[in-house]
Amino acid sequence: MRPVNTLRHLARYALAVAAIGAPLAWALPAHAANGPVYQTSRHNAGTPNSDVVTKKNGQITSYGDSAITYNVPSPALAALGQALYLQNCASCHGTEANGVPAAGTTGAFPNLVGLGPATIDFWIESGRMPAADPRAVQAPRRLPRLTHDQALAIAAWINSLSPSYPAIPTVNVKSANVAQGAALFALNCAACHTIEGDGDALARSTFAPSLRNIPATQVAEAIRTGPGNMPRFTGNLSDYQVADIVKYVTTEIQHPRNPGGLGLGGLGPVAEGFVALLVGVAVLALVGFWVGERQ
Amino acid sequence: MSDTITKRQRQRAGGRYGAVGRALGELDDRLGVARGGRTFLDKIFPDHWSFMLGEIALYSFVILLATGVFLALYYVPSSTIVTYHGSYLPLDGMQMTQAYQSSVNLSFAVRAGLLMRQMHHWAADIFIGSMVVHMARVFFTGAFRKPRELNWTIGVTLLTLAIVNGFLGYSLPDDLVSGTGIRIAYSIILSVPLVGTYLAFWVFGGNYPGTVILERFFILHVLVVPGIMLALVTLHLVLLVRQKHTQFPGEGRTEDNVVGSPMFPVFMAKTTGFLFIVAGVTAAMGAFFQINPIWQFGPYDAARISYAVQPDWYMGFLDGALRIFPAWQFHGFGHTIPLEVTIPAVIFPGLVFGLAYAWPALERRVTGDHAMHNLLDRPSDRPKRTAAGVAVLALVSMLFIASSTDVIANYFKVSLNTVLWTMRILVLISPFVAYPIAYKIAKELHETKGAGRRKVTNVVTRTESGEYVAVPAPAYVDDVREELEPTPVPVFIEETEPTGEDDASGGVRVVERD
């Protein structure tokens, strides 16, 4: 081989490597070593929008609207609640409920003091707590380990450490406006939970859960307390508006009207594409096979 | 014996073909339909199932036109904002465009409206799906070769137009999901280097969303694009008759003949039945499978968005390319070129469809094969072509799958970022993995004796004395195909023998009327 040719070959090879390698190097970013922490540890300071606040024994029971009543669990349950807490929660959140289970572990688990009864109730009654895997990025919804009364008792004890709000909401869905709820849902919720309420994956193993099987109280609690990645909707949504959304979620989202036949899981074009290709085109191709080969 | 003419005598007087024959005779006297009609009725269709794939597309197109006319009677292409007070309560009192209102009303308040809408949508999905399958058949069997390059070009154009029109139709209801699609289309137009802004403003009549886009999409969707497509489909079929069908090699089949069933009566019965089956399957899907429930999505509003929005399947490869492309941008010379949009959504589809258009010429150049081809290849006969086709299909399929990254992540409980990176890698390597595998399989198949032929089965029977005997089963109809004697063609009219007189004079050419 003449040297000129060899050089030319080498140059070509280098050019090819550069052409393929440069975009690759550009495309493969260096990942940050420390992943961000996704569990919220913020002190819940949400203040629902209202001028009139009703208090009972120094606790907020209502923000003036008749759409939602906020009930503080009875302080009489606190003693039972502490016992339950020590059995089920203290191994991570610490005996003081301050998120410090042992010396030197500050910051590993959320501080529960001052979060308000609604937050405690939501996490326990949705089955997320006690957590199956405390290291999971996001706790999934499960069958609850503790009963409703036990959840109330734990909430009562944690609330007794530092009384705070929001209390546990009872939503009056009868007077709520489902059309208003639909509009508010599209504006505030659909961006993560999808317009059909199926939920979807977000970045880095977090996800917006499906809303298909969630009781009214937990929907309202989630909106008011913002569990996990979810924003806390406080100042920008009135109790009337929250009740409207709760009604829309518990009626149209959980029992969608599918007059057109099978709902295909509310998955939209992904499921539709499968049906079109695997049912429509495939069946017709099979029929074509049957017809076309006949003589 | 009376003088009255019996029915039988009247029939006999009317000739062998009765009133139909007479009517055709009258028509032939005036329009000369006999010659073309005979050519058409005698057209031979090879009996192979893969030739029916294109017919799925043809009949889906017919269904699209029929259901589309119905929908156009009720749809109002208007961006005027109105307040909804219809039968679907969750939307009651909501502000929406007249387009969305009329689409919801058409679904709930018009008899059979929802069925028609769903049939139209399913037919569109099936239409493009069967076009792709048909195109794959034509590609892998080499049916696009000389003399059929023009018909291949028409086919690729039809596919492009069908995808465009599918997108336009998907956008018309102006629901939350389709509005998001229009927004993406606007960004894609914007991303065209240098002229993007002007182009986008020209298409949308100003900045997004403007007030004219639904009206423009409507006229394109119902008139301009289907009109062009109808003309091209006609041309596609005329060329098919003119150039005659291709056929797979077999006994008695040569480059110069076509062996199969004639249009009348065999193929006509088949194909008419097939039309009804396609219509029936589409109607059943429209009745039992819900598609695009726009009432659950609500009206479009630029401030609202739903997560998990995918386009219809045929746009999936574009959406997938957009999703997985890294966020690259070019800044310079006072311009910004969003490469993350330009490359996957403008340059890439241009390359794919450009390759499809150029393939017949490319193959001619590479193989140096300029001969006429009426006999088809089996895919294993041309391992390189087959492998190239499989590689492109693998690439496009991976991009198609990439358009549902979020659904995959959610349902398989994997991190979205993992899915994203997996898809990026799969898209890059899939053609290079698919090519050698397909090449090897095709090559081996080609060299295997009897591959692709049906094996002769043995029928094992037990005699009364308990002995087992294996007897070769009677051959399949396909395996022994005798070339039939040409059947005499029924004569509708007396053809006059050409006189052969050539009395052209003075530079005037005389054309005989026939």
pLDDT in tens, A33-57: 333 333 333 333 334 444 455 666 6
CA distance, residue B140 to nearest chain A CA (Å): 17
At residue B317 the predicted structure's pLDDT band, cuts being 50, 70 and 90, is very high
CA distance, residue A94 to nearest chain B CA (Å): 30
Same domain, yes or no, for B346 and B426?
no
Q: Which of A194, A206, A258, A270 to mutate to test the interface with B (most CBs of B within 10 A)?
A: A270
Residue A225 lies in a domain: no
How many structural domains compose chain B?
2
The one-character DSSP state at B313 is: G
Q: Measured between beta carbons, which residues in chain B are less than 8 angstroms from residue A189? A: none
Query: Of B447, B475, B498, at which residue does a domain stop?
Result: B447
What digits encode the pLDDT tens for the residues B170-182?
Answer: 999 999 989 989 9
Q: Assign B509 to helix, strand or coil.
A: coil
Give the pLDDT confidence score for residue A59 in this predicted structure. 56
Domain holding A103, by residue range, is 73-166
Domain holding B401, by residue range, is 382-447
DSSP string, B460-481: EEE-TTS-EEEEEPPPPTTTS-
Residue A150 lies in a domain: yes
Closest CA to B436 of B380, B366, B382, B384: B384
Query: Of B447, B477, B493, at which residue does a domain stop?
Result: B447
The CATH number of whichever domain residue B202 belongs to comes to: 1.20.810.10
Query: Of B432, B447, B462, at which residue does a domain stop?
Result: B447
Residue of chain A whose Cα is closest to the Cα of B312 = A269
Same domain, yes or no, for B415 and B360?
no
How many structural domains compose chain A?
1
Residue A245 lies in a domain: no
* Amino acid, single-letter form, for residue B385: R
pLDDT tens-digit profile, chain A (295 residues): 445 555 566 566 666 655 655 544 444 433 333 333 333 333 333 344 444 556 666 555 555 567 888 888 888 888 899 999 989 988 888 888 877 777 666 667 888 888 888 999 999 999 998 888 877 888 888 899 999 999 999 999 998 888 787 888 888 888 888 888 998 898 889 989 988 888 888 888 888 999 988 999 999 999 988 888 898 887 678 888 889 999 999 998 888 888 888 887 767 788 888 899 999 999 999 998 888 877 6
Q: Assign B505 to helix, strand or coil.
A: strand
Q: Do B270 and A199 touch (CB under 8 A)?
A: no
Peptide bond into B147 cis (omega under 30): yes
Q: Measured between beta carbons, which residues in chain B are less than 8 angstroms from residue A287? A: 274, 277, 281
Same domain, yes or no, for B423 and B277?
no
CB A155 within 8 A of CB A73: yes
Residue B21 lies in a domain: no
Most confident of A237-241, B201-205, B209-213, B499-503: B201-205
Same domain, yes or no, for B79 and B207?
yes
Closest CA to A198 of B308, B90, B304, B181: B308
* Amino acid, single-letter form, for residue B254: T
The rounded distance, in Å, linking the Cα atoms of A248 and B499 is: 85
Give the pLDDT confidence score for residue B456 in this predicted structure. 73
Residue A2 lies in a domain: no
CA A245 to chain centre: 16
Same domain, yes or no, for B403 and B362?
no
What average pLDDT does range B264-290 have in this prediction? 92
Give the pLDDT confidence score for residue A25 in this predicted structure. 45
At residue B123 the predicted structure's pLDDT band, cuts being 50, 70 and 90, is very high
| B176-190 vs B196-204: helix crossing angle, rounded to 10 | 140
Same domain, yes or no, for B305 and B401?
no
Give the pLDDT confidence score for residue A31 in this predicted structure. 36
pTM value is 0.82
Closest CA to A206 of A288, A117, A139, A260: A139
Q: Where are the alpha helices (DSSP H) in B42-148?
A: 53-74, 98-108, 113-140
Q: Assign A77 to helix, strand or coil.
A: helix
- Find tokens 């005659």 and name the residue: B244
Same domain, yes or no, for B328 and B399?
no
The rounded distance, in Å, linking the Cα atoms of B276 and A151 is: 62
Residue A136 in contact with partner chain B when CB distance is under 8 A: no
Q: Is the pLDDT of residue B272 over 80?
A: yes
Please tell me which of the candidates A248, A275, A295 has its beta carbon nearest to residue B261: A295
Q: Which of B128, B271, B416 to mutate to test the interface with A (most CBs of A within 10 A)?
A: B416
CA distance, residue A272 to nearest chain B CA (Å): 7
CB B122 within 8 A of CB B278: no
Which tokens is B160 given? 């492009």
The rounded distance, in Å, linking the Cα atoms of A199 and B308 is: 8
Residue A19 in contact with partner chain B when CB distance is under 8 A: no
Q: Do A260 and B409 touch (CB under 8 A)?
A: no
Same domain, yes or no, for B69 and B191?
yes
Q: Is the pLDDT of residue B153 over 90?
A: yes
Give the pLDDT confidence score for residue B500 in this predicted structure. 52
The rounded distance, in Å, linking the Cα atoms of A96 and A82 is: 10
Beta strands in B270-425 (DSSP E): 330-332, 335-337
What digits encode the pLDDT tens for the residues B46-88?
Answer: 888 889 999 999 999 999 999 999 999 999 999 999 999 988 8
The rounded distance, in Å, linking the Cα atoms of B62 and B58 is: 7
Longest Cα pair distance anywhere in chain A, in angstroms?
98
CA distances from B235 to B153, B232, B243 (A): 11, 5, 12
Residue A83 lies in a domain: yes
Residue B414 lies in a domain: yes
Q: Where are the alpha helices (DSSP H) in B141-220?
A: 149-171, 176-190, 196-204, 213-219
Give the pLDDT confidence score for residue A113 in this predicted structure. 85
Give the pLDDT confidence score for residue A107 in this predicted structure. 64
The rounded distance, in Å, linking the Cα atoms of A171 and A188 is: 19
The one-character DSSP state at B96 is: E
Give the pLDDT confidence score for residue A174 in this predicted structure. 86
Residue A58 lies in a domain: no
Give the pLDDT confidence score for residue B168 in this predicted structure. 95
Q: Do B290 and A26 touch (CB under 8 A)?
A: no
What digits encode the pLDDT tens for the residues B1-13?
Answer: 556 777 777 766 6
Give the pLDDT confidence score for residue A98 in this predicted structure. 79
CB B68 within 8 A of CB A230: no
DSSP string, B260-308: SEEIIIIIHHHHHHHHHHHHHHHHHHHHHB----HHHH-B--TT---SS
Total residue count of chain B as it appears in this document: 514
User: Minimum mean pLDDT among A129-143, B47-61, B127-141, B400-414: which range?
Assistant: A129-143
Which tokens is B502 given? 């050539």
Residue A78 lies in a domain: yes
CA A31 to chain centre: 25
CA distance, residue B308 to nearest chain A CA (Å): 6
Give the pLDDT confidence score for residue A42 in this predicted structure. 34
Residue A93 lies in a domain: yes
For residues B287 and A137, the model is more confident at B287
User: Minimum mean pLDDT among A15-24, B282-291, B325-334: which range?
Assistant: A15-24
The CATH number of whichever domain residue A80 belongs to comes to: 1.10.760.10
What average pLDDT does range B203-230 have in this prediction? 93
Q: What is the mean pLDDT of chain B?
A: 87
* Amino acid, single-letter form, for residue B180: T
Residue of chain B whose Cα is closest to the Cα of A252 = B90
- Beta strands at A59-62 and B330-332: parallel, antiparallel or unpaired: unpaired
Same domain, yes or no, for B269 and B344?
yes
Same domain, yes or no, for B414 and B369?
no
What average pLDDT does range B326-330 have in this prediction? 90
The one-character DSSP state at B455 is: P
CA B187 to chain centre: 28
Same domain, yes or no, for B187 and B265?
yes
Same domain, yes or no, for B437 and B347?
no
Give the pLDDT confidence score for residue A235 in this predicted structure. 67
